[in-house]
Amino acid sequence: MDAMEFFQLSTGKWRSQRTTHHLAFKRSEAGESEIYVEALAADAPQVIEICQLHQVDPKLAVGGAFVSWEGAMGWDREEENHKGSTVFSLIPDASHPRQGSLLRERGYAEIVPVAGRYHMDDEDGLVLTTEYETMSSVERFWFVSPGLRMRSSTVKRFGGFSTATFCTEFRVTDASEIDLTNLSPEQITAAKPTKYLSFFGG
């Protein structure tokens, strides 16, 4: 399996249950979210624009993905929300197609355009490593079955504070199973967010 195949298998709507361990405080926090994933072809306008944003030749991309999420964590304050969306573009290494660069319109840990590294490990898990200006993160995704995906991640701030997170993600629907005909505009947005075409909002 390569990373593009992994994104294609991830297409659809997922419900994620997570536990985040705040290592400095020796305490854990529970949360949950809904995630929507749509695989994008190499010639999709979103993929091309992300490549141009990072000054990378779009012809090097093999595809990408649109991802949106909305969730809540146990320690959230009233004004906090965990909601957003981003676009990925995959640029495999010429000599090692199972690894390469992953370009994002925005990161998870910091809301800025970011380029990370990815590789598929020996068990077909997708591993993403991202260096931000003030922190670094390592995420691993893997399938237990077509409808059950696991995710682990660590985030380390340069001051030494770090968190470790484990998520269990259940597939709610495949993209092809989402029926938009009888839904309100708000429900459509929740079920299948509008595709990013030229300008990608925060």
3-191 CATH, one of 1.10.357.10, 1.20.1250.20, 3.40.50.300, 2.40.128.20: 2.40.128.20
Looking at the predicted structure, is the pLDDT value of residue 65 above 90? Answer: yes
| Beta pairing, strands 114-120 & 135-145 | unpaired
Most confident of 70-74, 85-89, 112-116, 167-171: 167-171
Looking at the predicted structure, is the pLDDT value of residue 183 above 50? Answer: no
Taking a C-beta distance cutoff of 8 angstroms, is the pair 71, 82 a contact? yes
pTM assigned to the model: 0.79
| Other CB atoms within 10 A of residue 199 CB | 6
Most confident of 67-76, 85-94, 167-176: 85-94
Quickly list DSSP for 67-101: EEEEEEETT--TT--EEEEEEEEEEE-SS-TTEEE
pLDDT at 187: 38
Q: Where are the domains of the chain?
A: 3-191
14 alpha carbon, distance to own chain's centre: 12
**Which residues are bridge partners to 118 per DSSP?**
100, 128
**Range with lowest mean pLDDT among 57-61, 72-76, 106-110:** 106-110
What six digits make up the tokens of 120?
């598929």
CA–CA distance from 63 to each of 11, 92, 141, 164, 189 (Å)?
A: 13, 10, 18, 29, 23
